[in-house]
Amino acid sequence: MQIHKNHLNNIGMYLSKEVKESIFEKHGKGKNDTGSSEGQIALFTHRINHLTEHLKQNRKDFNTERSLVMMVGKRRSLLDYLKKKDILRYRAIIKELGIRK
């Protein structure tokens, strides 16, 4: 496995193919099930947590802040859809990911 380097801070990519597959395998129906609501919500949560940590050190990075707000909105839309369709799946994913509502 080759680790890609980020040219800005010289660390490996935070969201590699293996990380995505493990997220979808854990929260979806399988590692290739990228369309399920639970898998998408889990992926958004992972990305939101990463951007939140980035913004703690870079307070004036307003582009990242805007991206974070848009991502939270997309996750909220998916959660609202899941809540409307199947309340038990909604409650399970909220509890599993530790999202407060």
pLDDT in tens, 32-60: 888 899 999 999 999 999 999 999 999 99
Structural domains of the chain in order of their starting residue, each with its CATH number: 17-97 (1.10.287.10)
SS (H, E, C) the chain: CCCCECCCCCCECCCCHHHHHHHHHHHCCCCCCCCCHHHHHHHHHHHHHHHHHHHHHCCCCHHHHHHHHHHHHHHHHHHHHHHHHCHHHHHHHHHHHCCCC
As a whole number, the mean pLDDT across the chain is 87
Q: In the prediction, which pLDDT does 33 show?
A: 84
- Is the model's pLDDT at 72 over the cut of 90? yes
